[in-house]
Structure 1
Amino acid sequence: MNRFVRPVSGTLLRRLALASIIANVGIVVTGGAVRLTASGLGCPTWPRCTDASYVTTSEMGGHGVIEFGNRMLTFAVGLIALATLLAVLAHRPRRPGLLPLAVAVFFGIPAQAVVGGITVLTNLNPWVVGLHFLASMAVIAAAYALWRRVVDPDGPVVGVVPEPLRTLARITTGVSVAVLVIGTWVTGSGPHAGDHGAARNGLDPESISQVHADGVFLLIGLSVALIFAFRAVGAQRATRAAIILVAVELSQGLIGFVQYFTHVPALLVGAHMLGSCLVLLATLAVQWSTRERRPVAPTPQPASTDAATPVPATA
């Protein structure tokens, strides 16, 4: 390595990877605030804020400040991802798989921003808005995978539960992703469009909310089944992860039901968006808990025979 590049410690790398997760969750919450305050077209074009300016103007009022502020936060999230990528490059010894994940997070952020720009250019088309949210979820998943690769030891991946239970965990993850996708359809049919003139997706809010609720019930049922299955095989770490997942799901479900029966107040919708990120992270934690990396024991070196060689006596 270049003598002018100082190696990065594992502690710093872990902190940066964790900061990347937190920052990407934060940008989802602030993006929700843009929509919930009807500021989605506070900057009516992209990448400029107006046709004549890259920044908000006083004539655009509070909506412009909120939308432009969220755009600026994207740069902050990108800087954290860049710092993490540079730390991965400088860390020694470099672990296999770290670099592709760091690159995916770094380039995922501008890709997500481009989708956000398309939402503005399409006047907050609800399907594109949903895609914008799901793109953020994909970046969060990549950031989580990067963090786990940093904190886990080097070594081969070994399953800690029987393969049928690993399959059940994968099915649960798939259902969790499906619930997130359907949740964007519910949002696209509801009242918080991001702008008073934005279109809705045309789905019946009551019907699609019921489909979403059915998916949540299925997800909770699968998660509870994982608790009992993991406990039956003595997988304590996996059991704890499944218990946390069920707790997060129940909290998220409670917020969802309350917001539905209270006519979708903005504050609860924002909390529900944060909950969606936490459900994804808890689901991924369960998936990771079904396997572990076991360090490879160092190969014993043969003892040197030099010191044991007798020296002939001289007469």
Structure 2
Amino acid sequence: MALNSLVARLPLPSRSVQKAVGIAAVVAQAGIGVTGSVVRVTGSGLGCRTWPECQPGSMVPVAHEELHAVTQWIEFGNRLLTGVVILVAAIAVLTAWRVHLATPRKRLLALAWTMPGGVVLQAVVGGMTVLAKLEWWTVAIHFLASTPLIWLAVVLLHAFTEGDETPRWLVPPIAKTFLVVLAVAMWGILVAGTTVTGAGPHGGDPETHRLDAPIELLARVHSGVLVVYLVVLAVLGLTLLRTGAPRSLWRRYGAVWLVALAQGVLGVVQYALGVPEALVSLHVLGSALVIVSTAALWCGARDRGLPPAPAVVSSTTTGHAAVTP
């Protein structure tokens, strides 16, 4: 294929470069959610009144008697950062593609393609959110759609550093079951958190509709699901203690506890102080870190072997990529 021939001309990325690209994908997918929260807490969600244009007839902010320039540029800046996420996603695909040409890595390449695919999906959902005037449930969908992308970015990072063998689980079946339950509980926390946000004071625009439900009850449900998550995490730890686990897995397990407890404390403080803007964005960052640490724990619980040694890829006279051992 012509595209294979073009990609084959790129230098083969080293293991350290591959790892750096994977880390960049995690940071990009997690970071865009945090910057989105800044848009929301500053009331800049409708700083750009339409999509994909910022204002009718203009792709960039323009002087507007009803809109402050700062709110326009905050929203427009977040849209520009999406371009950075797209760039990182493209680099991830090219890196995985080049590695795949050197030694077949179909799983790695498929994971890399989820990055630009997810960005396109998020752009569509984001456009719908703006056109729906930031209805709370559209904002919730916009946030929740980003959470699998963070998880997949962590899996992609690990895929760069491991083989494509069938996973060999390093924990017993009961521990694997608790890991599945832990992941489900994690997304339960995120879903419950969006309802608290939907009923809270930061809707992204002063005129947007809010969820008509008692925020105290929603906050209790949110914290209750967190308690379930922590209980499952504790039971998982007891299971690993009884059956044994690699030291590297224990480090990841400890990181999950650290992040989850910090996020819980931050949530309590945030609620007690009346949901100040800065703590809201920190809480969104904490949510991303909970996803990252939980996904890392999941990946660390199985072994796919070492990445295969790369072959030498060259272009033949016919213009097709040829792989030689």
Task: Look up the equivalent residue of 2:83 and give its one-letter code.
Answer: F
Find the aligned partners of 2:62 and 2:110 in 1 and give their Cα distance: 40
Root-mean-square deviation (CA), in Å?
1.7
Residue of structure 2 equivalent to 1:229: 239
In 1, are the aligned partners of 2:193 and 2:222 still within 8 Å (CA)?
A: yes
Change (3 A) 1:38 1:13: same
In 2, are the aligned partners of 1:42 and 1:63 still within 8 Å (CA)?
A: yes
TM-score by length of 2: 0.88
Task: Look up the equivalent residue of 1:62 and give its one-letter code.
Answer: V
Find the aligned partners of 1:296 and 1:9 in 2 and give their Cα distance: 12
Residue of structure 1 equivalent to 2:277: 266
Residue of structure 1 equivalent to 2:229: 219
Q: Does structure 1 residue 157 correspond to structure 2 residue 164?
A: no
3-state secondary structure, aligned to 2:91:
helix
Q: Does structure 1 residue 208 correspond to structure 2 residue 218?
A: yes
Residue of structure 2 equivalent to 1:41: 46
The percentage of aligned residue pairs carrying the same residue is: 36
TM-score by length of 1: 0.90
3-state secondary structure, aligned to 1:46:
coil
Paired residue for 1:193, among 203, 207, 216? 203
Residue of structure 2 equivalent to 1:308: none
Find the aligned partners of 2:11 and 2:279 in 1 and give their Cα distance: 46
Q: Does structure 1 residue 112 correspond to structure 2 residue 117?
A: no
Residue of structure 2 equivalent to 1:26: 31
Task: Look up the equivalent residue of 2:75 and give its one-letter code.
Answer: E
Superposed displacement of residue 94, structure 1: 3.5
Task: Look up the equivalent residue of 2:53 and give its one-letter code.
Answer: R
Residue of structure 2 equivalent to 1:52: 57
In 2, are the aligned partners of 1:156 and 1:295 still within 8 Å (CA)?
A: no
Question: More relative contact order in 1 or in 2 (CA 8 Å, sep 6+)?
Answer: 2
Paired residue for 1:77, among 76, 85, 90? 85
**Which runs of no fewer than 5 residues in structure 1 stay unpaired?**
299-315
Paired residue for 1:241, among 252, 256, 261? 252
Q: Does structure 1 residue 126 correspond to structure 2 residue 131?
A: no
Residue of structure 2 equivalent to 1:292: 303
Q: Does structure 1 residue 182 correspond to structure 2 residue 187?
A: no
Find the aligned partners of 1:32 and 1:164 in 2 and give their Cα distance: 37
In 2, are the aligned partners of 1:81 and 1:106 still within 8 Å (CA)?
A: yes
Superposed displacement of residue 209, structure 1: 0.7
In 2, are the aligned partners of 1:39 and 1:63 still within 8 Å (CA)?
A: yes
Within 5 Å, give how 1:271-286 maps onto structure 2.
271-286=282-297
